[in-house]
Amino acid sequence: MNAELVHGLLYIVASVFFVLGLKMLSSPTTARRGNILSAIGMLIAVATTLAAMEQVRWVWLVAAVGVGASVGALAARLVKMTSMPQMVGLFNGFGGLASMLVGWAQYHGAWAAEADIHGFIRVAIFLTILIGGVTFSGSLVAYGKLSGTIPGRPVLYKGQNFVNAIILTAAVAVGILFSMQEAGRPSAIGPTGAYLLLIGIVVLAFVLGVLSTIPIGGADMPVVICLLNSYSGLAACAAGFVIGNNVLIVSGSLVGASGIILTRIMCKAMNRSLANVLFSGFGSTVATKAAGYKGEAKPIGPEDAYLIVEAASNVVFAPGYGMAAAQAQHAVRELAEMIEDNGAEVRYCIHPVAGRMPGHMNVLLAEANVPYEQLVEPQDVNPNMEMVDVAIVIGANDVVNPAAREDENSPLWGMPIIDVDRARTCIVLKRSLNPGFAGVDNPLFFKENTRMLFGDAKATITALVAEFKG
Ligand code: NAP
C-alpha cells in the first residue's frame, strides 16, 4: 500500500479517536477513558506526522519535547486547583502563539527561498497569524486578570468599540494586501514589503487581543477563556491548511467548535448574550447594600447547625468557589456520608458557572469520590425546592443569589440560580457577608429561613462532622 494512503488512514483513525474521546468527556463515568482515548489519538497523529516527514531535525524535536514536558510536569505539581482557570487561559494562549509561529515560519521559509506560495495558503497564513496573535495576547490579559496580576475590573473608555473595530478593519485590510503578494516574486512593494505587512498583522493582532479583552471584567473571564479556547482551535485549523496537515485541520475544528459550544452554555447559564459579555463592561458598576437588601443575618454555630441537619430527611448541597478555595471537598463527602447514614437523602446541586471554570465543582467532587448519581443540576432540584429540608451552601454566593429572581436592578437579574432560599432551611457556609466574584450583594443572607455558619468552609464542615461523630 502506498505510504501516503497509510498516513491518510492513520490520520482518520486519530480523528475518530478525538471525536470518540470528546463524546466520552460528556459524562463523568466515561471522562477518564475519553481523555486516554484522545491522548492515544494524539500519539498516533504525532507519530504519523513524523513518519510522513522527509527530514526530521531530531535534536530540535527532542529538545522541544523535553522543555515542554518539563514545564507541563512542573505545572501539574505546582499549580493549585484554584489556579487552574488562569492556567487553562495560559495554555490557550500558547496554543495560539504556536499556530501563529507555524504560519510565520512557513512564510519565512518561502520568503528566504524566494519560492512562490499559493494564494489560498497566503490567506491561511494571514488567518493563522491574526487569530493566533489575538488568542495569545488576549489570553495573557485573561491570565493576568484571573491571577490578580492586573486589576480584574473592566477598563473602559469612550469610543472603545469603535477603536477596536478600526483595528480589526486595519488588520483585515493589511491581511488582504498581504494575501495578494507573492513571497518570492517581485511586486510593487517587493518581498521585503510583503514581509513587513506580515509583521504589521502580528502587531495589530497582539494589540487587538489586548484591547478587546481589557473591557471585560474578571467575573466574565472564564467565558472569555472558553472563547479564546475556541479561537486557539480556529488558529490551529488555519495552521493545518498552511502546512497541509489534515489531522491538524480536524483537531483544530473540534477545539474551535467545542470551545464555542461551551461559551454558549456558560452565557446561557448566566442568562446573558455573548455580545453582553464582550461589550457591556459587566462589573464596572457594583450594586451596594444600599440597593435595599436589609435585614439581620442570623449566625449559628456548628452545634445548632448539626441539630438542623440531623433532623433533615432531604439535604441538598450547593457548592461554589469557596469550597475550592477551602479545599473542603473531602470533608463535604464525609459529612454527606454521615447524613446518609442518618437516613437522609443527599444530593449535590451543581450550577454550570459555580467556581472559576467550567466543571470546577464536578472535578473537585470527583476527586473526593462523590458518587456521580448524586450530582444534579439546578433544573432537577428547583421545581421541588420547597420539599428540601436543608440546603447547605458551601462557599457559593452569586449562583445562589435570589436577587437574580427578585431584583430587576441587580446586575445578576435573569441569571438562572439554585433556589436555595426556597428550601425549608438554608445554611450558608462562608467567612463573612462579603459579595462573591460578581461583586453583587446577596439578599439570601438576610432571609427568614437562612442561617449563616461563618468560617472557613473546611473548618466549619469538619466541625459539623465532629458533631455527628459526637
Ligand atoms: P462566588 O460568587 O465567587 O462566591 C464565592 C464565595 O466563597 C465568596 O463570597 C466567599 O465569601 C466564599 N469563600 C471564599 N473562600 C472561602 C473559604 N475558604 N471558606 C468559605 N467560603 C469561602 O462563587 P460562586 O457562587 O461559585 O459563583 C461563581 C462566580 O464566577 C459567578 O459570578 C459566575 O458568574 C462567575 N463565573 C464563573 C465561571 C465558571 O466557569 N465557573 C464562568 C464565568 C463566570 P467570604 O469571602 O465571605 O468567605
Band (pLDDT 50/70/90 cuts) for residue 282 is low
Q: pLDDT per residue over 177-221, tens digit each? A: 999 887 555 566 666 788 999 999 999 999 999 999 999 887 788
- Read off the amino acid at residue 416: P
Q: pLDDT per residue over 218-250, tens digit each? A: 778 878 889 999 999 999 999 999 999 999 999
The average pLDDT across 440-462 equals 96
445 lines ligand 1 (CB under 6 A): no
Question: What pLDDT score does 218 carry?
Answer: 75
pLDDT surpasses 50 at 90: yes
Residue 200 in grid coordinates? 504589521
pLDDT surpasses 60 at 286: no
pLDDT surpasses 50 at 287: no
Residue 144 alpha carbon to ligand 1 centre in Å: 18
Question: What pLDDT score does 289 carry?
Answer: 43
Q: How far is CA 411 from the centre of its chain?
A: 21
| Better-predicted residue by pLDDT, 38 or 117 | 38
358 lines ligand 1 (CB under 6 A): yes
Contacting residues for 117 by C-beta, under 8 A, at least 6 apart: 106, 107, 110, 125, 182, 183
Of the listed ranges 86-100, 208-222, 322-336, 365-379, the one predicted with least confidence:
208-222
Q: pLDDT per residue over 419-430, tens digit each? A: 999 999 999 999
pLDDT surpasses 50 at 466: yes
Mean pLDDT for the chain? 91
pLDDT surpasses 90 at 27: no
Give yes or no for a contact between 106 and 210, defined as CB atoms under 8 angstroms apart.
no
In the residue annotation, 421 being an active-site residue is answered as: no
The average pLDDT across 76-95 equals 86
User: Has domain 302-469 been given CATH number 3.40.50.1220?
Assistant: yes
Of the listed ranges 4-13, 147-156, 306-315, the one predicted with least confidence:
147-156
Q: pLDDT per residue over 314-363, tens digit each? A: 999 999 999 999 999 999 999 999 999 999 999 999 998 899 888 889 98
Residue 325 alpha carbon to ligand 1 centre in Å: 9
Calculate ∠ Cα 19-21-25, nearest 5°. Answer: 115
Task: Break the chain into its structural domains and give their ranges.
Answer: 1-78, 80-279, 302-469
pTM for the structure as a whole: 0.81
Protein residue closest via CA to atom 18 of ligand 1: 326
pLDDT surpasses 50 at 281: yes
125 lines ligand 1 (CB under 6 A): no
In the chain, the largest separation of any two C-alpha atoms, in whole Å, equals 86
Question: Cell numbers 486547583 label which residue?
Answer: 81
Residue 212 in grid coordinates? 478587546
Q: pLDDT per residue over 397-416, tens digit each? A: 999 999 999 998 888 888 89
416 lines ligand 1 (CB under 6 A): no
Question: What pLDDT score does 284 carry?
Answer: 60
Q: How far is CA 403 from the centre of its chain?
A: 25
The average pLDDT across 95-102 equals 97
H, E, C per residue of the chain: CCHHHHHHHHHHHHHHHHHHHHHHCCCHHHHHHHHHHHHHHHHHHHHHHHHHCCCCCHHHHHHHHHHHHHHHHHHHHHCCHHHHHHHHHHHHHHHHHHHHHHHHHHHHHHHHCCCCCCHHHHHHHHHHHHHHHHHHHHHHHHHHHHHCCCCCCCCCCCCHHHHHHHHHHHHHHHHHHHHHCCCCCCCCCHHHHHHHHHHHHHHHHHHHHHHHHCCCCHHHHHHHHHHHHHHHHHHHHHHHHHHCCHHHHHHHHHHHHHHHHHHHHHHHHCCCCHHHHHHCCCCCCCCCHHHCCCCCCCECCHHHHHHHHHCCCEEEEEECHHHHHHCCHHHHHHHHHHHHHCCCEEEEECCCCCCCCCCHHHHHHHHCCCCHHHEECHHHHHHHHHHCCEEEEECCCHHHCCHHHHCCCCCCCCCCCCCHHHCCEEEEEECCCCCCCCCCCCHHHHCCCEEEEECCHHHHHHHHHHHHHC
Residue 451 alpha carbon to ligand 1 centre in Å: 18
431 lines ligand 1 (CB under 6 A): yes
Question: What pLDDT score does 266 carry?
Answer: 87
Q: Give the rounded percent of residues in the chain with a pLDDT score beyond 70.
A: 95
Residue 337 alpha carbon to ligand 1 centre in Å: 25
403 lines ligand 1 (CB under 6 A): no
Question: What pLDDT score does 68 carry?
Answer: 92
pLDDT surpasses 50 at 89: yes
Give yes or no for a contact between 190 and 202, defined as CB atoms under 8 angstroms apart.
no
- Nearest to residue 405, comparing CAs of 442, 356, 376? 442
Protein residue closest via CA to atom 31 of ligand 1: 398
Give yes or no for a contact between 144 and 210, defined as CB atoms under 8 angstroms apart.
no
- Nearest to residue 165, comparing CAs of 272, 283, 279? 279
Band (pLDDT 50/70/90 cuts) for residue 388 is very high
Band (pLDDT 50/70/90 cuts) for residue 109 is very high
Tell me which of 226, 321, 445 to substitute to probe ligand 1's pocket, judged by most ligand atoms within 8 Å of the beta carbon: 321
Residue 437 alpha carbon to ligand 1 centre in Å: 5
pLDDT surpasses 90 at 148: no
